[in-house]
Amino acid sequence: MAPIRAIVFDLYGTLYDVHSVAARCESYFPGQGAELSRRWRQKQLEYTWLRSLMGQYRDFEQATLEALVYSCKQLGLALSDEQRAALCEEYLRLAPFPEVPATLKTLNEKGLRLAILSNGSVNSIATVVRNSGLQAQFAELISVDAVQIFKPDMRVYGLAEQRMKLDRSEILFVSSNAWDATGASYYGYRTCWINRSGQNFEELGRTPDFVAEDLRGLVGVCGG
Ligand code: LAC
């Protein structure tokens, strides 16, 4: 089996905590912050899948905004234009999970090339990474914008292989979204599922090659 030369990460929920928006949600809608954040994320994903199936790509910022509007309506929350703009802005300031900065550094020191492959637009990915000060850790930031369709379409996974100029057998794909790890596995990457909260893996016909509770588990996976 080819040695792993590069690690390609999902962004939302894997490196960065999408629920770091919950505090701002809570400040606007007391008692509803966590629930709004949860529904917003779920609807955001549904909108990416639905837009992909319908052939109606709009970028991830737009899907995020539309999902927020829907989720607020569903919860009966009156969302002002200012609140809408501020909450979408929060998505550009997501916090990395606590172990992420040090683990990325360790993986780089081991000579691995690191990249992000995300549903986010070129601008969202670059902004989130820059705002967290982690830009030096990544060799490539790869957006679905290039193929105008969202994960788990196989064309998206193909982008990482092309941009990294490696064979798929040399790439480890890492996601905490089980459906995303499944898509990457069908494409032919080895996969590591980050299972932070004791979930069950999806029943979609594949299993991950590795499972870790957080990113630190990757250090052992990639040779010691
Ligand atoms: C991403 C979503 C799927 O970053 O989490 O692509």
Each residue's pLDDT tens digit, 166-175: 999 999 999 9
State whether the beta carbon of 161 lies less than 6 angstroms from ligand 1: no
- Ligand 1 centroid vs 102 CA: distance in angstroms? 21
For strand 16-17 and strand 95-96, is the pairing parallel, antiparallel, or unpaired? antiparallel
Catalytic residues: 10
> pLDDT at position 86, please?
97
CA gap 104, 108 in Å, rounded: 6
State whether the beta carbon of 119 lies less than 6 angstroms from ligand 1: yes
CA gap 213, 224 in Å, rounded: 17
Q: What is the pLDDT of residues 65-74, one digit of tens each?
A: 999 999 999 9
Mutate-to-test residue for ligand 1 from 118, 125, 147, 174, highest number of ligand atoms within 8 A of CB:
118
pLDDT, averaged across the chain: 96
Residues listed for the chain: 224
Contact by Cβ (8 Å): 189, 140: no
- AA letter at 184: A
Q: pTM of the prediction?
A: 0.96
Those residues whose C-beta lies under 8 Å from the C-beta of residue 8, and which sit 6 or more positions away, are: 114, 115, 116, 117, 142, 160, 164, 171, 172, 173, 174, 189
Contact by Cβ (8 Å): 16, 97: yes
User: What angle separates helix 122-131 from helix 60-75, to the nearest 10 degrees?
Assistant: 80
> pLDDT at position 1, please?
83
**pLDDT digits (tens), the chain, 224 positions:** 889 999 999 999 999 999 999 999 999 999 999 999 999 999 999 999 999 999 999 999 999 999 999 999 999 999 999 999 999 999 999 999 999 999 999 999 999 999 999 999 999 999 999 999 999 999 999 999 999 999 999 999 999 999 999 999 999 999 999 999 999 999 999 999 999 999 999 999 999 999 999 999 999 888 64
User: What angle separates helix 178-187 from helix 154-164, to the nearest 10 degrees?
Assistant: 70
> pLDDT at position 2, please?
87
State whether the beta carbon of 153 lies less than 6 angstroms from ligand 1: no
Angle at 106 between CA 103 and CA 110, to 5 degrees: 140
Q: What is the pLDDT of residues 83-129, one digit of tens each?
A: 999 999 999 999 999 999 999 999 999 999 999 999 999 999 999 99
